Structure 1
Amino acid sequence: MTKPLMGQAEIADRLGVSRQRVQQLIGRPDWPTPYVTLAMGKVWRTEDIETWIRDHRPKDTGPEEDTGDTTLGRRHGRKRDDA
């Protein structure tokens, strides 16, 4: 099940890039406006990020598959909290 909100780490995982690369993408004029800015950082609606991906990175489009893998952020060694 896809969560309704994404932070930089989730976006990095979705795109398969580093959080530093996400920071660069956030600076683009065509990047979605954050849903809210919290003390921990900016948060975006997943729907807005998926629309941006569809429009700007067509090779990354397609439904995210739930493979049952409980690893989130394999690049960062974190575990999903909904496992």
Structure 2
Amino acid sequence: MNTTWNIRIDVSLEYTERIDLDLRARLADYEAVIAAAYVAGKPAPDRTSIQLTLSAPTITDAQAAATSAVTTALAEVGQPAELVRMDTMPDEDFTTEIDDTALSLAGTREISEMLNVGKARTAQLIERPDFPRPLAYLSAGRIWNLNEVRAWAETWDRRPGRPRARFRGPRVGEDESS
């Protein structure tokens, strides 16, 4: 039984638009995505990242097929390059990982709707020291990472209704001396 695999291969070749077009054309059967490579979240200017999707019975077979496809495509475009990194995972794990790391943004309106509170209460909540910090301050207002706000909301000790007022004086109709 075959599994669909998602494989990222980084090669020692500077990314250019021409390399992107040439490799995508030769690797079209693998739903190839070609991009500038990043290592630890920072651009790696001397690397190109090649993402492939393919079907194979084992991880070893998938890696062998991907390596062969990439080295053949590189040779065909006259750009032999060394493979410097390979990450392989089942496609469903890859999809889950992408979904988990996708950045969703929220402004105060989205936060109000998510927490089911009004504008005034939202304004109070976003000023709390335990509320997530905004990602950016835009002319339209502040924006937050929605996943961080959701995580905060799970720990929020929400108490419905208004707090009871503490009465410090005599009640209506009561004498102050009693």
TM-score (norm 2): 0.30
Deviation at 1:33, TM superposition (A): 0.3
2:134 pairs with one of 34, 55, 68: 34
Q: Which segments of 5 or more consecutive residues in structure 2 lack a partner in the other structure? A: 1-102, 159-178
1:10 aligned partner? 110
Matches within 5 A, 1:42-53: 42-53=142-153
**2: CA distance between counterparts of 1:45 and 1:11?**
10
Structure 1 runs (4+) deviating above 6 angstroms are: none
Q: Which residue of 2 aligns with 1:23?
A: 123
Q: Secondary structure, in 3 states, of the residue corresponding to 1:31?
A: coil
Distance 2:117 2:136 in 1: 22
Render the CA deviation track for 1:15-74: whole Å, top value 9, x for unaligned: 11111110000111101000111001100001110010111147xxxxxxxxxxxxxxxx
* SS of residue paired to 2:151: helix
User: Aligned partners of 2:143, 2:122: CA distance in 1, in Å?
Assistant: 12
Amino acid across the alignment from 2:152 = W
Distance in 2 (alpha carbons) for counterparts of 1:53 and 1:28? 12
Higher strand fraction: Structure 1 or Structure 2? 2
Q: Which amino acid aligns with 1:55?
A: T
What does 1:45-64 correspond to in 2, within 5 Å?
Answer: 45-57=145-157
Equivalent-residue separation in structure 2 for 1:35 and 1:6 (angstroms): 10
Larger of the two Rg values belongs to structure: 2
How many residue pairs are counted as aligned between the two chains? 57
Q: Which has the higher contact order (CA 8 A, sep 6+)?
A: 1
Identity rate, percent: 34
SS of residue in 1 equivalent to 2:143: strand
